[in-house]
Structure 1
Amino acid sequence: MMGLTSITRDRLGSLLLILPALLTIGFLFLYPLGYSVIWAFHGPDGWTLSHLAKAYDFYSQDVWFTLLIVVAATAVIGLFSIMIGGYLTLGESRWAVGILKWLYRWPLFIPFVVAGQLMRTFLAKNGMMNSLLVSGGVMEPLQAASFLDWRGILITFVWKQTPFVTLLVAGAMAALDRSTIEAARNVGAGRLRILLQIVVPQVMPTLMTGLILSYVVMMSVLSVPMMINAQTPTMLTVDMAWRINSYGDYPVANALGFLSYAMTAVVAWAYLRRGVKEKGAA
């Protein structure tokens, strides 16, 4: 009895510790999520698919645009994270590694709304990037073009999220057993081969975690597409804000949100399935 009482008290204490977190998740995430999903399929006459059909009919181009932009940005972020993390781990120039460590982290401390404004100034037709290229003689002033379109969104997402994923990947690479790396070097393997065949496979779970988190974050960003891409097609977050602010059309906005949930849920399901398989194999 004493043992059962002690176990019950321990469980109760643990529950009390996690209760604030559970309540926060419930009220600030699960309740709005459930409300949004329900009203995406609910109308005056009961359950309906009309809101979802209307959302896709009006914004199908934006759905595919959003998916392509986020998937492309995720892929480029993964590539840059491997390159930067690999050089931080395998690089032989101390000063170059030191500068890279200091430089790549800066976007971590910049909010998306500030990043959008920075890129709006940097990528405009008369912005800093074109001014530097013209002053350097790389191109003529008449050749300057604005990148305030899908390219600007892609560049901003990659610039903002690469440090986050790189921080995770570089930390995982630094924790690896160096003996395998040194053994590969002793038999003549180059840095690129060591990176791709030895280092990357071992940090792949960490890399996938960072990329999925970045995918979800980019899917939910409103400020960047609104500030950079003032044309169509655009991202679903802009469409949702437009339906609510201009029309007060919450059902269609909720339907667009459901499409966003679906696009993120597929990625989360694939990641969880992969993790379960790896644990089962172990």
Structure 2
Amino acid sequence: MKNTKQWFPYLLVIPAFLVAMLTVAYPIVNGVAQSFEGEDGGFTLSNYVYFFTDRNELANIGFTLVICLVTVVLAVVSAYLLALYLRFTHSWFSRAIGFLYLLPRFVPSMVAVYAMIAVVRDSGFINRLMLLFGINAKPGLMYSANGVVLMNLWFNIPFAAMIIAASLGGVRDSIIESARDVGAGRWTIFRTIILPLTYKDALVASTFVFMTNVGSFTTPYLMGPNAPKLLGVDLFNQFNSYGDYPKAAALSTIMFLLCAASAVVYIYTNMKDSEWEKK
């Protein structure tokens, strides 16, 4: 009877474990294994060599990293400022912004991209509005890196702000008021109190924004340039257009490693904090 009670929790976990293994672990392992398959079915590194020697593929990787890093910096900085405003400003306008900034989280990506295209394309709303004033404005945001970054910000600023705002909510007003009572200015309060208490959550937001954009497909497919391409579009072409499954598997593994690398900083930071708390 005692052994039954001891193993009963593990029996309850087994169904969920099997589902996770079949739907998550097995596809990953199978994809990595397929990435090392040659045309004859044997082991080869040629699929990886291709992506790091072909000029076009190197351009795609570099272009994706630049887009992701620019998006991370602009999105997280903007989200942090927005979260600070919502946390420490109490007015009807800040409450309205606090409600509106969450709306993009509930809009399907395809709908959002097409809505943005209708506004920013050279014959879109901006162009038609400016023509009323005799100005033939052409934003030039379609099929360009600027358009992709703009759309990425539309998606990622609300997400990052939501994470950072939750962190700022844990900063008690009494701490801020005590610092003000001893003469600390806004910059001093931010640098010595707010930032140390919230930087980890900003790092979490940065990690998720980076990982989201490494594999993004809808925005770069509809608004991005034909060359160089983001890796999400390149993966689609390798799999769907060319039918080269080993190369698609290799590119998937490369994208996974890029995402894993972005998480190393966050994991390292948490480990350092845990070591400090133990002392």
Give yes or no for contact 1:82–1:200 (8 Å, CA) kept in 2.
Answer: no
Residue 279 in structure 1 maps to residue 274 in structure 2: yes
1:144 and 2:138 correspond: yes
Q: Give matches, 1:60-75, under 5 Å.
A: 60-75=58-73
Q: 1:118 to 1:47 in 2, by over 3 A?
A: same
Contact map agreement 1:76 1:158 (CA 8 A) in 2: yes
CA deviation after TM superposition for structure 1 residue 134, in Å: 5.1
Show the counterpart of 1:35: 30
Give the direction of change, closer, same or farther, for the CA distance of 1:146–1:41 in structure 2 (3 Å limit): same
Taking structure 1 as reference, are residues 23 and 208 closer, same or farther at Cα in structure 2, changes over 3 Å only? farther
Q: Which residue of 1 aligns with 2:48?
A: 52
Match of 1:84? 82
Q: Distance in 2 between matches of 1:204 and 1:96?
A: 26
Distance 1:10 1:121 in 2: 61
Structure 2 CA distance for aligned equivalents of residues 275 and 29 of structure 1? 25
Q: CA deviation at 1:17?
A: 4.3
Superposition RMSD in Å: 2.2
The separation in 2 between residues aligned to 1:197 and 1:50, in whole angstroms, is: 51
Residue 200 of structure 2 contacts residue 266 of structure 2 at CA under 8 Å; is this kept in 1?
Answer: no
Q: Distance in 1 between matches of 2:94 and 2:13?
A: 41
Report the residue type matching 1:68 in the other structure: V
Residue 204 of structure 1 and its aligned partner are, at CA, apart by: 1.6
- The equivalent of 2:114 in structure 1 is 117
Structure 1 residue matching 2:234: 3-state secondary structure? helix
Q: TM-score, normalized by length of structure 2? A: 0.89
Aligned partner letter, 2:220: P
Percent identity over the alignment? 26
**Residue 165, structure 1, aligned to residue 163, structure 2:** no
**How far off its partner does 1:279 sit?**
0.4
Instruction: Give the superposition deviation at 1:160.
Output: 0.6
Q: Quote the residue 2:256 is aligned against.
A: 261
The Cα of 1:46 is off from its aligned counterpart by 2.2
TM-score normalized by the length of structure 1: 0.88
In structure 1, C-alpha distance between the alignment counterparts of 2:18 and 2:265, rounded to whole Å: 28
Asked if structure 2 preserves the Cα contact closer than 8 Å seen for 1:115 and 1:224, the reply is no
Cα distance, 1:224 vs structure 2: 0.9
Distance between the aligned counterparts of 1:278 and 1:256, measured in 2? 34
CA distance in 2, matches of 1:17, 1:130: 60
The 2-side partners of 1:181 and 1:130 are apart by 47
- Per-residue deviation, residues 146-185 of structure 1 (Å, max 9, x unmatched): 2021111111111112112211211111122222211233
The alpha carbon displacement at 1:10 in A equals 5.2
In 2: Cα distance, 1:278 partner to 1:129 partner: 49
